[in-house]
Amino acid sequence: MRELPALALRRALRTGYAGADLRADLLAGVVVGIVALPLSMALAIASGVSPQHGLYTAIVAGGVTALLGGSRCQVSGPTAAFVVVLAPISAEFGVGGLMLASLLAGLLLAAMGALRLGALIRFVPHPVTTGFTAGIALVIATLQVKDLLGLDVAEMPGHYVERVQALAAALPSAQADELAVGAATLALLLAWPRLGTRVPAPLVALALAALGAWLAARLVPGFEVDTIASRFHYASQGATWGGIPRTPPLFAWPWTQPGPDGRPIGLSLELLRDLVPSAFAIAMLGAIESLLSAVVADGMGGTGDHGAPARHDPDAELLAQGLGNVAAPFFGGFAATGALARTATNVRAGARSPMAAFFHAGFVLFAVLSLAPLLGLLPMSALAALLLLVAWNMSELKHFAHVLRVAPRSDVAVLLVCFVLTVLFDMVVAVSVGIVLAALLFMRRMAELSSVTLVGRAHEEISPPLPPGVVVYDIGGPLFFGAAQKAMSSLEAVGAGVRTVVLDVRDVPAMDATGLVNLESTIDRLARAGIAVILGGVAAQPAEVLARAGWKSEEGRLVICDRFDDAIALARLLAPPPARSGKPAAP
């Protein structure tokens, strides 16, 4: 436990950290900060809270996880994947409930890291992550239609079908000015990277969108678009102001933040009980997203100790993500996780250590303190265009279609189920059902691979052939609850005259309690028929299961041999002598 905090930073410093590394990290941090600035605001708005809460999340959670994490180049902050989970929480419980849910999720993540459960996230099947990620992308894209077109929707429904119906009904209220700004922003976001410049596309597109909207409002009669300053307000010095407050993240107890009625939400056992399911969803999604992002960062380059490829530590990363999510709600932030696009930008910008991600948090803080009035000029339709592009990249449509074409039908079924459930219900239902369905299909495939084959007296590794009354059965595949009964059913009918059965279990890598019970039932049934069983070539894990169950060799019933050759030799000794024919032996 003590070696986990700040593992990546300590590794980077141990390999040598010079002035050139500091300059590279500082430059990378500024580049990532420029990308994170509008994204943090847009994602906060999409999650149902004021934009400054997204900025505070990038500052606090981004800084804490950078210093304490297990990935050298990971950048954390608000992410698009969280939107479908966070928006319903803020709608039902307000910003205070969102912060409390984030705090609970942080505790869960920290516990997962401390208990070293990071490696378990690798067992979430790929079709599950692909399906719910594409579903989240579709939901996010749908939510942006309102601001992109300037639709007049009094209250956005909570479920997808009702949302689509509400948006369709509001289409007559679409504003040409909003659509023009959004379309121009989206076009710039798509075209700018093709120029080959290292200046981030969001910086150029959103800056020009804000400038163009500001000029058009003054030069074109009747031109008007919704901006951050016109949509969001805050109180300061006894007055109400539009936009983002020019203040750093300030400490406040999360339960003193406003609930859905605008009053402090308070703290009660009933409230915490209501927030636990949402907190669990945030923690699971945060774990999956952060570790997937860390894997991508590993693959994009960088070296660790002795010039070896830098590899993240999943437990240290989960612990840091948890601590970041615990800290952020006390300073106005909410749930954060590893951000894939910002992490990739960080690596491409030349990041050398976790300090780059820490500098990114510092840049966002600098922008809040110095550029808050200018940030209020950003048009809402421009931010919607940015999130539309994020949703498109997140969907990985080509990869989604490729999986549909080439994957086994069972995996395709899991992917489509997760996709549909994410869109129509929520990510918690999708991931839960997807993992259970994938596990059941996996068990079916394993059951198909597990088998018991009668070899008889002849075996390619046995010479000379075994004496009469001795047969060999070859058991292949794991004996677990999905396959044991099917495998053992082959031993229900043993040929007449058989007195010894050798079970070749060298190809049985694992056994669980169900496999143990089925094997024991088979041995008992054979023993009642006067047939002894010899287990030959028992592997380490099955041997441990047998020993824990108290299995021992028992004359006339069972003999356990570590080596298959020993089992065959014993079977020869136990075989009854051949019957005499009464004729004299040949001279």
Whole-number Å distance between alpha carbons of 40 and 249: 14
469 is written with which tokens?
A: 């009354």
Q: Where are the domains of the chain?
A: 18-242+250-438, 450-574
**Mean pLDDT across 401-417:** 91
How big is the chain by its Cα radius of gyration, in Å? 32
Rounded to 5°, angle at Cα 40 from 232 and 60: 105
The dihedral built from the CA positions of residue 196, 200, 205 and 207, taken in this order, carries a sign that is: negative
DSSP code string of 345-396: HHHHTT--STHHHHHHHHHHHHHHHHHHHHHTT-BHHHHHHHHHHHHHHHH-
> In 3-state terms, what secondary structure has residue 503?
strand
Annotate 311-347 with b (16+ C-beta within 10 A) or e (fewer): bbbbbbbbbbbbbbbbbbbbbbbbbbbbbbbbbbbbb
pLDDT of residue 182: 97
258 is written with which tokens?
A: 């406003």
Of residues 524 and 237, more confidence is placed in 524
Q: What are phi and psi of 520, to 5 degrees?
A: -65, -40
Peptide bond just before 88 cis, omega within 30 deg: no
Confidence of residue 404 (pLDDT cuts 50, 70, 90): very high
pLDDT in tens, 341-363: 899 899 989 999 999 999 999 99
* Beta strand residue intervals within 294-365, DSSP E: 337-338
Rounded to 5°, angle at Cα 268 from 266 and 274: 105
CA torsion angle for 496, 497, 501, 502 (degrees, to 10)? -120
Q: Does domain 450-574 have CATH number 3.30.750.24?
A: yes
Where is average pLDDT lowest: 130-144, 188-202, 443-457, 464-478?
443-457
- Is 570 within 8 Å of 564 (Cβ atoms)? no
Q: What are phi and psi of 497, to 5 degrees?
A: 85, -5
pLDDT of residue 587: 43
Where is average pLDDT lowest: 144-148, 235-239, 419-423, 537-541?
235-239
The answer, yes or no, to whether residue 329 has pLDDT greater than 50, is: yes
**Mean pLDDT across 93-121:** 94
Confidence of residue 227 (pLDDT cuts 50, 70, 90): very high
- Is 24 within 8 Å of 15 (Cβ atoms)? no
Closest CA to 505 of 453, 557, 570, 569: 453
pLDDT in tens, 279-314: 999 999 999 989 888 888 887 765 444 444 568 899
pLDDT of residue 226: 96
Rounded to 5°, angle at Cα 276 from 270 and 277: 125
pLDDT in tens, 452-475: 777 766 666 677 788 888 888 888
Whole-number Å distance between alpha carbons of 332 and 95: 9
Q: Which amino acid is at 207?
A: A
pLDDT of residue 135: 92
Taking CA atoms, 339 is separated from 99, 390, 446, in Å, by 19, 11, 35
pLDDT in tens, 158-190: 889 999 999 999 999 999 999 999 999 999 999
Confidence of residue 585 (pLDDT cuts 50, 70, 90): very low
The answer, yes or no, to whether residue 142 has pLDDT greater than 50, is: yes
Confidence of residue 515 (pLDDT cuts 50, 70, 90): confident
pLDDT of residue 485: 72
pLDDT of residue 468: 86
pLDDT of residue 307: 47
